[in-house]
Structure 1
Amino acid sequence: MKITITKNIKLNPVQILALGFALVIFTGAILLTLPISSSNGTSTNFIDSLFTSTSAVCVTGLVTVDTGTHWSYFGKTVIMFLIEIGGLGFMSFATLFALLLGKKITLKERLVLQEAMNTFNIQGLVKMAKYVLVFTFSVQIIGALLLSTQFIPDYGLGKGIYFSIFHAVSGFCNAGFDLIGNFSSLTSYAENPVIILTIASLIAIGGLGFSVWLEIYNYRGLKKLSLHARVAILMTISLIVGGAILMFLFEFNNPGTMKNMSFKGKILSSIFASVTPRTAGFNSISTADMSMAGRFLTIILMFIGGSPGSTAGGIKTTTAAILLMTIVSIIKGREDTEISKKKIPKDLVYKAFALSTLALTLVIGVTMILSITEVGASFEYILYEVTSAFGTVGITLGLTTKLSFIGKILIILTMYCGRVGPMTVILALANKKSNSSIKYPEDKILVG
């Protein structure tokens, strides 16, 4: 299906989606360069504005200038809107405005919406878009109310309410932007259960996927959750619980992170350190002071990310599940990938392997280039930064502010590819089905 933009230019839904994100990013960058956007009333250079806008739209959280101190309230509000648009997808907002204006959603627009929301078909898409927006704003309002009980006493009524709204949006959209200042993220609230658990819950809810929450909401009517929902939920719980246990073991006696905390603080920080890499970017302990094992575990969690059709990035939990169960099936001598006594179609298995390979290739390629351009930076810091950018996480070991011009450009492109690239490539390839009846002879290659 082609969507005609002009008589000579035809774009398919996937291309429109990619261009739409790019347009939002450049619009945000221009707004952030304006003097009104900075706290000191001067223009911010375009590369830092572009970096911040890309990070916001791609719901990453990596920043070259401190969000809390560099930007004015106008600039912070622009960032918050960019996060909301990037997290939910610009097509969701376009649908909302079309409905408010009483316009009919055409088939072409539904096709783009289908790509944006990563669903199997176009039936009920408009209804689902409405649900996504209502669900999102409802969860964010509840989150902001809970956060306000802590931020208002600390910052006053007006600033406390603004901080609550901003962090609720940033948390639910898995963006990781914070207004605390001085690149400290939430380290000053490491032992505050309301702040830590509220934001951790917002991250987990936003990263589970809208289609999964819709199934949970309609659970009694459906009687049984779909395989997709069950896999997404099981993988999410497993990664959070497993990650928290390992983080607790790795950082328990680390003087740079948890050693001097109370037992409650260690539990909260372990949970938070397990949730945020998938893929929010907040941190309640110093990432630079984490143990080597803790850093490596964080890289793994960042690469996997959240679930499909959510505000999170990474290769996604369901992709990781398919890869894992394919390996299990091979070990058992089965021809097909099986999950919960269900056969997974081979085209989905191929997509999972292709997506993972593309993602790994991107991370390795950018890491190799940055190893040349970022003189003095260690391999660990670079790999951590690139994985964080690809997974649209936003956690850093401190390299972001030290990036060269070329380094900033590469991380910008990595954040963009992490948000729309691999998904776009896979969907584009999946939409091209060969009609050729030619069948080639089978042959073998030694493996392993």
Structure 2
Amino acid sequence: MPPQKRLITPFSLPIYAFGLAIALGALALSHPACLNGESIRPIDALFTSTSAVCVTGLIVVDTGQFFSPLGQTVILLLIQLGGLGIMTYTSLALILLRRRISLTDRLAVGQSLLHDPAFDLGRFLFRVVTGALVLEALGCLALWLLEPEGFPLFSAAFHSISAFCNAGFSLYPDSLMGYDTNIGVNVVIMVLITIGGLGFTVVNELMHKGVHRARGHKVARLSFHTRTVLSTSAVLVVVGTGTIFLGELFGPAETHIPLWNRILHALFQSVTCRTAGFNTLDIGAMSNIALVFMMMLMYVGGSPGSTAGGIKTTTARAVVGFVVSQIKGRSQTVVGSRALDRETMNKAITLTIMASLTVAFATLVLSITEAHLGAEGLHRGSFLELLFEVVSAFGTVGLSTGITAKLSDTGRAIIIMLMFVGRLGPILFLTALQEWQTKPRYSWPEEGLMIG
């Protein structure tokens, strides 16, 4: 008799937790106390809640004007919950109450934070939450001191948490375009985005080694994972800055702007494409070259165990390493000074293929459901805008060329599903599905096939 399938498993539990948080958030945002005298449609409340919990930042209504201070606070709480993970907070609360943590919860948190269940849950969760709160508090203080009029205390806290969680929600209708020349605000936001997108394990290791170095202790070399994340992230930011700068060099959005400000614009957009969603430029007015490369950055996203989305930097590095190794005729995929094992490569290639198919299929469906957008005179037609919207939703970025509010209800439902899948990761859904499948106890005969 085959083993009985469990409804709740370590891999399906985060799906249920995020789904429940989204549903409760939508109900809360529909309450009149959360609105500024207007009513909100259920699909729009669900869209906003999903965007907040999945730390995306796509909006169909103006956050600063449509929602009351209570509604904005609810959105902020949803962002914080989604950024650090529902399972993180649940497990930490149980630890603080000195209740016993089930193995299912332990494994679920380990998978969502470290992709490795073998760790000290209590100590690590305490570091994660306290570290995040301290960094967000410092970011809030910095924004408030730099721009006390533009960022009063609540606004500074809102934008600090939104930046660290890579959410991209802003209380201003034009995001941060009003601060495109403010170097201090740009730097604070970029630092918060970068730290939040590196991953908890990387930040924890860097802080741990930094403390030991400050005490004069001998510090070992950074781990292979941390070195890969840091090097890949640095390359993406530098290359992204250069490409966006060149793409906008002769664009209408950057006409008569000083060189230093153009560089700052390019750097900020390159960093925010790592699934943060803030913008200091009008995305809809940017050149095709810049938009295409921004989609590549959004597709990659941040790093494993972080608040960011996308296929992750390590996945992209593994796929690039695989291609290079094939070109060089190597039997192993080499990244840096190490060769990746077969399981890692299988996951990387599967995730990349699934992500690409998801983006392609969603774009195709939206091209059908949102055919009305092409009649509105968009200067590039609607395909590039729709593709940009899909990649932004799947990568939980939140950048848009301005068509989000113009989407039909069907289109909004598709974006909602993309944000949900993109936040948890397609491979988590695949793993959860595989737990319900029975593995065959036989194998098929192998044979070669002509390729190419």
Match of 1:406 among 404, 410, 419: 410
Whole-Å separation in 2 of the counterparts to 1:433 and 1:333: 36
Q: What SS is found at the alignment partner of 1:154? A: coil
Match of 1:342 among 307, 319, 338: 338
Gaps of 5+ in 2: 213-217, 374-381
The one-letter code of the counterpart of 1:423 is: I
- Which residue in 2 is equivalent to 1:332? 328
Q: How does 1:275-424 map to 2 (within 5 A)?
A: 275-377=271-373, 378-424=382-428
What do the CA deviations read for 1:334-379 (whole angstroms, capped 9, x no partner)? 1111112312111110111110111111111111011011023311
Match of 1:178 among 170, 195, 217: 170
Whole-Å separation in 1 of the counterparts to 2:59 and 2:150: 25
Between 8-17 and 60-69, the greater mean CA deviation after superposition: 8-17
Between 26-35 and 265-274, the greater mean CA deviation after superposition: 265-274
Whole-Å separation in 1 of the counterparts to 2:194 and 2:150: 26
Structure 1 position 108, deviation (Å): 2.3
Match of 2:220 among 207, 218, 223: 223
Whole-Å separation in 1 of the counterparts to 2:296 and 2:432: 27
Task: Confirm or deny: 8 A CA contact 1:197 1:268 kept in the other structure.
Answer: no
What do the CA deviations read for 1:57-111 (whole angstroms, capped 9, x no partner)? 0000000001111110000000000000001000111122112222232322201
Q: Structure 1's 333 and 70: CA in aligned 2 closer, same or farther, altered over 3 A?
A: same
The one-letter code of the counterpart of 2:10 is: P
- Which residue in 1 is equivalent to 2:377? none
Match of 1:104 among 100, 106, 114: 100
Matched, 1:246 2:248: no
| Number of aligned residues | 434
- Which residue in 1 is equivalent to 2:376? none
Task: Confirm or deny: 8 A CA contact 1:191 1:264 kept in the other structure.
Answer: no
Q: What SS is found at the alignment partner of 2:284? A: coil
Provide the identity percentage: 39
Task: Confirm or deny: 8 A CA contact 2:166 2:197 kept in the other structure.
Answer: yes
Q: What SS is found at the alignment partner of 2:12? A: helix
Task: Confirm or deny: 8 A CA contact 2:76 2:162 kept in the other structure.
Answer: yes
Whole-Å separation in 1 of the counterparts to 2:139 and 2:435: 39
Structure 1 position 437, deviation (Å): 6.2
The one-letter code of the counterpart of 2:329 is: G
Structure 1 position 430, deviation (Å): 7.5
- Which residue in 2 is equivalent to 1:163? 155
Report the TM-score, using the length of structure 2 for normalisation.
Answer: 0.92
Whole-Å separation in 1 of the counterparts to 2:30 and 2:436: 40
Q: What SS is found at the alignment partner of 2:171? A: coil
The one-letter code of the counterpart of 1:231 is: T
Match of 1:37 among 28, 34, 37: 34
- Which residue in 1 is equivalent to 2:134? 138
Whole-Å separation in 1 of the counterparts to 2:412 and 2:116: 36
Matched, 1:152 2:148: yes
The one-letter code of the counterpart of 2:17 is: G
Gaps of 5+ in 1: none
Task: Confirm or deny: 8 A CA contact 1:390 1:415 kept in the other structure.
Answer: yes
Between 329-338 and 22-31, the greater mean CA deviation after superposition: 329-338
Between 145-154 and 407-416, the greater mean CA deviation after superposition: 145-154
What do the CA deviations read for 1:295-315 (whole angstroms, capped 9, x no partner)? 001111110100000000000
Structure 1 position 389, deviation (Å): 0.3
Task: Confirm or deny: 8 A CA contact 1:110 1:122 kept in the other structure.
Answer: no
Match of 1:15 among 12, 28, 36: 12
What do the CA deviations read for 1:134-158 (whole angstroms, capped 9, x no partner)? 1101111111111102332336xxx
Match of 1:198 among 188, 213, 216: 188
What do the CA deviations read for 1:150-209 (whole angstroms, capped 9, x no partner)? 332336xxxx0001000000000000000013xx11111000011111101111110000
Task: Confirm or deny: 8 A CA contact 2:95 2:122 kept in the other structure.
Answer: no
Q: What SS is found at the alignment partner of 2:231? A: helix
Whole-Å separation in 1 of the counterparts to 2:120 and 2:448: 45
Whole-Å separation in 1 of the counterparts to 2:219 and 2:47: 44
CA-atom RMSD, angstroms?
1.9
